[in-house]
């Protein structure tokens, strides 16, 4: 619960500095201080929230009592889910909600102090240059502009199949398939084209979208189209798309 003891940010740079401070505190709670954070999230207590503070610290506390609150509030009741799922999944869930809260706070300040279109765009671009808390906590933070190392990694824990746009695990956001020059072989180009569309909706590869490959038919799908999140994919040893799953069920 935060009473905003710090100066209220009013410019794009000040809002971004506030964002970075809160983000650093939240990352600390979910990584370096994770044992302390875990203990404070006792399911026997009332609804608890994880707050990141502008001075790069964090706290677990009850939500503010005033309605509406002075600032947007983080996800409520994170402690109740702690013992109902694996710790890794729980931390990933808290990380996702923390990312959403950070954006809400930043753009609350933007709305409060009348940021225009260009200021909002500038703020988002500054924020978007940083890895999300979820990416940091799950180890999926992208290396800037250098994806060559990812292309040599295995597609998943259980499969060594080579695909055009490979990554460290299935549960990471993958880059678009490489586009080769005209002097590339026809077979390689055909394989790239096969991996460039979603087997469910038919849309092309998106730069910042999570994709998953079926281990049976080897088609690629948007995670959102088959209702698979990056966190859920981490625990799938062999993924079967809905079509292949239904075929097995009929046998």
**Phi and psi torsions of 60, nearest 5°:** -105, 125
Give the pLDDT of residue 6. Answer: 66
Contact 48, 41 (CB under 8 A): yes
Weakly modelled stretches of the chain, pLDDT under 70: 1-6, 142-196, 207, 247-251
Give the pLDDT of residue 88. Answer: 92
Q: Taking Cα atoms as reference points, which of 48, 63, 57 lies closest to residue 27?
A: 57
Give the pLDDT of residue 223. Answer: 83
**Phi and psi torsions of 58, nearest 5°:** -140, 165
Domains along the sequence of the chain with CATH: 12-138 (no CATH), 198-250 (3.30.40.10)
For 12, the token pair is 């794009």
Strands (DSSP E) along 109-243, which ranges?
Answer: 211-213, 220-222
* Residue position matching structure tokens 């203990």: 39
Give the pLDDT of residue 250. Answer: 45
Distances in Å between the alpha carbon of 177 and those of 116, 123, 143?
36, 29, 17
- Specify the pTM: 0.55
Q: How many CB atoms within 10 Å of residue 86?
A: 11
Q: What is the pLDDT of residues 104-135, one digit of tens each?
A: 999 999 999 999 999 999 999 999 999 999 99
**Phi and psi torsions of 197, nearest 5°:** -125, 150
- Tell me the three state secondary structure of residue 192: helix
CA dihedral 163, 214, 237, 168 (to 10 degrees): 30
Give the pLDDT of residue 176. Answer: 42
């Amino acid at each position: 619960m935060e009473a905003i003891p710090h100066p209220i940010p009013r410019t794009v740079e000040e809002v971004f500095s506030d964002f970075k401070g809160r983000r650093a505190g939240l990352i600390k709670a979910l990584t370096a201080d994770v044992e302390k954070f875990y203990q404070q999230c006792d399911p026997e207590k009332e609804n608890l929230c994880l707050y990141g503070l502008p001075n790069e610290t964090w706290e677990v506390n009850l939500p503010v009592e005033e309605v509406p609150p002075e600032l947007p509030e983080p996800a409520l009741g994170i402690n109740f889910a702690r013992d109902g799922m694996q710790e890794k999944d729980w931390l990933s869930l808290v990380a996702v909600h923390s990312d959403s809260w950070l954006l809400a706070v930043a753009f609350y300040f933007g709305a409060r102090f009348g940021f225009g279109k260009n200021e909002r765009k500038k703020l988002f671009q500054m924020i978007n240059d940083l890895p999300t808390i979820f990416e940091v906590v799950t180890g999926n933070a992208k290396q800037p502009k250098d994806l060559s190392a990812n292309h040599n990694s295995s597609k998943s824990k259980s499969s060594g199949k080579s695909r055009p746009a490979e990554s460290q695990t299935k549960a990471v956001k993958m880059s678009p398939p490489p586009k080769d020059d005209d002097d590339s072989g026809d077979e390689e180009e055909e394989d790239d084209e096969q991996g460039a569309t979603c087997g469910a909706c038919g849309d092309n590869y998106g730069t910042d979208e999570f994709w998953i490959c079926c281990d049976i038919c080897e088609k690629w799908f948007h995670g959102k189209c088959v209702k698979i999140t990056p966190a859920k994919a981490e625990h799938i040893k062999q993924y079967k798309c809905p079509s292949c799953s239904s075929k097995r069920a009929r046998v």
